[in-house]
């Protein structure tokens, strides 16, 4: 049985060197199965850049999702952005109340909603800069809008 394991590991090593050119015996890991007691299931371990590529694969999907979300936000009008920001801030308030009263909630929603508000406000500020509105005027308009929104609630 040990000879079979050695034969499979040497053939795997030769195949790995032939395919990648940089695989060595140190990068092979022996992962024993829980059901079989032999080490015949030798396979190369993820090392170095291969491991980073696997970890960053989810980051690529997140970046694509972020780009799609930004195009959706940029397609909204400024009034829609203001209304959405007020709605999301209300959701954040509700999440804080749920946490204070120890109700069941997803804590990851805080981060997601706060980032969404930041993205919307960034797009809004970019539009204001294009129109030549300075910070002081922008804040004055925002405060007036917030007063009208809080009167509705």
The confidence score (pLDDT) of residue 150 equals: 66
Of 141, 109, 112, nearest to 125 by C-alpha is 141
pLDDT per residue as tens digits for the range 32-87: 544 455 555 555 555 566 555 556 666 777 778 888 999 999 999 999 999 999 99
Q: For residue 16, what pLDDT band results from cuts at 50, 70 and 90? A: very low
Average pLDDT over residues 20-33: 49
Instruction: Tell which wins on pLDDT, 6 or 62.
Output: 62
Helix axes 78-100, 108-131, angle to 10 degrees: 160
pLDDT above 90 covers a percentage of the chain that reads 46
Instruction: Tell which wins on pLDDT, 39 or 92.
Output: 92
Average pLDDT over residues 146-151: 75
Evaluate whether 30 touches 44 at the Cβ level (below 8 Å): no
Q: Does residue 13 have a pLDDT over 60?
A: no
The confidence score (pLDDT) of residue 7 equals: 47
């Amino acid at each position: 049985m040990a000879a079979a394991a050695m034969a499979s590991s040497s053939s795997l090593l030769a195949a790995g060197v032939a395919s990648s050119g940089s695989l060595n015996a140190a990068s092979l890991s022996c992962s024993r199965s829980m059901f079989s007691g032999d080490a015949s299931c030798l396979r190369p371990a993820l090392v170095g850049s291969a491991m980073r590529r696997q970890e960053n694969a989810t980051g690529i999907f997140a970046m694509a999702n972020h780009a799609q979300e930004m195009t959706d936000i940029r397609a909204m009008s400024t009034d829609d952005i203001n209304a959405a920001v007020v709605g999301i801030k209300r959701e954040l308030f509700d999440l804080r109340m749920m946490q204070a009263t120890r109700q069941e909630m997803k804590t990851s929603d805080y981060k997601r909603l706060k980032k969404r508000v930041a993205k919307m406000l960034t797009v809004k500020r970019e539009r204001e800069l294009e129109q030549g509105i300075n910070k002081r005027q922008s804040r004055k308009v925002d405060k007036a809008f917030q007063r009208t929104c809080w009167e509705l609630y």
